[in-house]
Copies of this chain bind each other. A is one copy, B any other.
Amino acid sequence: MGDRLSTTFAALADPTRRAILARLALGESSVLKLAEPFDISLPAISKHLKVLERAGLITRTRDAQMRPCRIDAKALKEADDWLEEYRRLWEERLDRLDDYLRVLQAQEKQDDKQSKPVKQRKREKQRGDKK
């Protein structure tokens, strides 16, 4: 699996190939239709498709004349599973930030409580003065 993962990440390391995957996530497409939005030659697109196919990120129907390309989620899921192990790194960081904000809010409330009696005492004192 180690090498498969390397092939997947290498295939994802190109903006055109990622754009092709984004298009195929919406549904299958012929090579000609896939090439339309890109300002590169058809052979260049075919090369990118071969890299994606070798990485198992797309499949192409062999027998059909149109040979439509389809996204294959399996390799993407493997890359996602690998990254999942690291998710705790930023999730823990966000949790720590959350904890810190909660402490700040608790302190603010505490300050409010402590300052109220002082104000109240002042008001009561003022009322007393007026009497």
Contact = CB atoms under 8 A, between A and B. Distances in A.
Interface of A: 2-3, 5-10, 12-15, 18, 21-22, 25, 71, 73-74, 76-77, 79-80, 82-87, 89-90, 93
A-B pairs with lowest CB-CB distance, top 5? A9-B13, A10-B13, A73-B89, A9-B12, A73-B90
Contacts of A9: 9-10, 12-13
Contacts of A7: 13
A6 B10 contact: no
A2 to B, nearest CB: 5
Contacts of A6: 13-15
Nearest to A7: B13
